[in-house]
Structure 1
Amino acid sequence: MANPHAGEVALVIDGQPHSLKLTLGALAELEVQMGEDTIVDLVRRFEGGACSSRDVMALIVAGLRGGGWRGTAADLLSAEIAGGPVGAAQAAAELLARAFLPPGS
């Protein structure tokens, strides 16, 4: 079960519940994966409604990895994500927001 007070977001993938969290290591991995983009650029895209499916996938993978998952983005290409693309985008946005909220917010 995900703990929102710890920055975690719940997401069901292929019928299995997962807790996603953007740890410092997951954020660093995300920055490397995004190349020249920064986390601030990613936040701006989500806030402006201009995020891509690549952004959503990168956040989901980083959150899964921060939650202890050892898979890769390729493992999710044919996965069934609860809520489909909209559910994935909502989880990614929530994950990003929780990662940068001050404790107790």
Structure 2
Amino acid sequence: MIANPHGGEVAVILDGRRRVMKLTLGALAELEESLGEDSIAALVARLEAEVSARDVAALIVAGLRGGGWPGRAADLVATEIEGGPVEAARLAAVLVARAFGGPG
């Protein structure tokens, strides 16, 4: 699966399998709900401040769901993200940049 950066997509390797993440409108709505924010502006403001591990996990799950992954947050807990937490945080940042500002 090849990710299209101009379409807002980001590739991630989960348990050795390449997946595509994308923040669709529905994924953003799920992200707002999971993080307790009531608007896209509030969500972006939160993500521009300090980002927690919970925020990174929620972003990864939302991106995966936007990319067609049927899983939930609980499924991600036992999943190996290639590159570990640092790579997950980097990919989450790229995902947000591509969703709101371009190829990232």
Taking structure 2 as the reference length, what is the TM-score of the superposition? 0.88
User: Which secondary structure does the structure 2 equivalent of 1:100 belong to?
Assistant: helix
Does the 8 Å contact 1:42/1:51 carry over to 2?
A: no
Task: Report what 1:43 is aligned to.
Answer: 44
Q: 2: CA distance between counterparts of 1:37 and 1:91? A: 24
Q: 1: CA distance between counterparts of 2:62 and 2:79? A: 16
Q: 2: CA distance between counterparts of 1:45 and 1:30? A: 12
RMSD: 1.9
Distance 1:38 1:84, change over 3 A: farther
Task: Report the AA paired with residue 65 of structure 1.
Answer: R
Paired residues for 1:8-47 under 5 Å:
8-36=9-37, 38-47=39-48
Q: CA deviation at 1:37?
A: 5.8
Task: Report what 2:100 is aligned to.
Answer: 100
Does the 8 Å contact 2:37/2:43 carry over to 1?
A: no
Task: Report the AA paired with residue 72 of structure 2.
Answer: T
Q: CA deviation at 1:101?
A: 1.5
Q: 1: CA distance between counterparts of 2:40 and 2:57? A: 14
Task: Report the AA paired with residue 77 of structure 1.
Answer: V
Q: Which runs of 5+ in 2 are unaligned?
A: none
Q: CA deviation at 1:43?
A: 3.2
Displaced runs of 4 or more, over 6 A: none
Taking structure 1 as the reference length, what is the TM-score of the superposition? 0.88
Q: Which runs of 5+ in 1 are unaligned?
A: none
